[in-house]
Structure 1
Amino acid sequence: MVLAIFDFLDPTPSTCLGMTCKAFYPIHRERHGAVHLTTKGLYDPIKKCLWQLLRSFFPGLVFCFEIKKFVTLERCEEIPHVSSFGLERLQESIFRMVEDLPSRSS
């Protein structure tokens, strides 16, 4: 049954499911390989990128668009593009992303 579910999923939700359990991740990798964090879901009507779906898996980290990885805010600030972008604007966009997160009680 689990294999059938992974066969049904496109790469983005498959990655999310694969990250929920050590036994599931190898199944995901076998079916879909490595999936880039900027990949969008094929059947997601909102077309969220994988990093948007996974951000709650990485508390305390932010997605740095310049290097396309989850990093600490301090590390993100060290990256030249982010420094020129401005820390205030970076923090503003991070706060907006956090506000968009669904509450854990729902």
Structure 2
Amino acid sequence: MAPSKTSSVLTEVITNSKNAVVPGVEVANLASISHGRILRSSTITKTGKSKDKVTVNPSTISLKEEVYQPIDHTICFIKKLPPEILLTIVKTLDPVSSACFGLTFKAVYPHHRKVHGKVSLRNWFGDGAYQEYTKDGTMLANYLKDWVPSKLKYNYKERKFVTRKNFRRFIEEAREADGQQAYCDATIIYVGLSNRDYEQIQDRYMREVDKMGWDYEERPMLSPTVRQQERSQKWRKKNSG
């Protein structure tokens, strides 16, 4: 799902829209939302009649009037925002959060591309803690796993989503490479053993790897390159002041 930072920004905008008229802001009450998909939308007018949506028009509604009337088990959903507000929101978000926001709100995406450019599936934010590169970390690919078709899996080596057939082949190749590396390491660490001993060490290593339940598409990533570090520092410096 989209990052919590994005949600907090939207919550603040939504909360403010309950008690004040924002020019150009279109809102609707949703009966329910499931997995990010809108199931049904409705609004209640001042006369109590139900409509599909309502556009807040500051020229026809007094600031003293009640614009938003909460309905049980519903939430306020923003349908439209002025470009200047969208741009302000995007500028407060990191590239990953902004990309997720842009994918859930089509009007945001042009502003996202203008501010952050093209964000790689492997992009992340933060100071480089290892947990950010593992399962449920902050890579854009991790956030998109629940959004892409179920037949696709993320291949961390190729840095793209692939079919399950291609992914199974990748796992087989990755496990074989791990086994060969374990065998070579054993000959360096334990000098003078027989081939059979090295094979046993290799087997024990692979059993431990499988026991840990490593998902090869979610294994710890390598440290960011110098270029990526420079981009991250440049972005933080730009948005800190």
Q: TM-score, normalised by structure 2?
A: 0.33
- Pick aligned residue for 2:98 from 8, 11, 14: 14
What is the alpha-carbon distance in structure 2 between the residues aligned to residue 71 and residue 84 of structure 1? 15
Which runs of at least 4 in structure 1 moved beyond 3 Å after TM superposition? none
User: Residue 76 of structure 1 aligns with which residue?
Assistant: 167
User: Residue 5 of structure 1 aligns with which residue?
Assistant: 89
- Pick aligned residue for 1:85 from 169, 174, 180: 174
What is the alpha-carbon distance in structure 2 between the residues aligned to residue 28 and residue 64 of structure 1? 25
What is the alpha-carbon distance in structure 2 between the residues aligned to residue 3 and residue 66 of structure 1? 34
In the alignment, structure 2 segments of 5+ residues that lack a partner are 1-84, 133-137, 176-209, 219-241
User: Residue 157 of structure 2 aligns with which residue?
Assistant: 66
CA contact (8 A) 1:13 1:41 kept: no
SS in structure 1 of the partner of residue 215 of structure 2 = helix
The percentage of aligned residue pairs carrying the same residue is 30
Q: TM-score, normalised by structure 1?
A: 0.69
The correspondence of residues 33-48 of structure 1 with structure 2, limited to 5 A, is: 33-42=117-126, 47=132, 48=138
Q: Which has the higher helix share?
A: 1
What is the alpha-carbon distance in structure 1 between the residues aligned to residue 126 and residue 214 of structure 2? 29
* Superposed displacement of residue 78, structure 1: 4.0
What is the alpha-carbon distance in structure 2 between the residues aligned to residue 62 and residue 5 of structure 1? 31
Paired residues, what number?
91
Provide the aligned C-alpha RMSD in A. Answer: 2.9
In the alignment, structure 1 segments of 5+ residues that lack a partner are 97-106
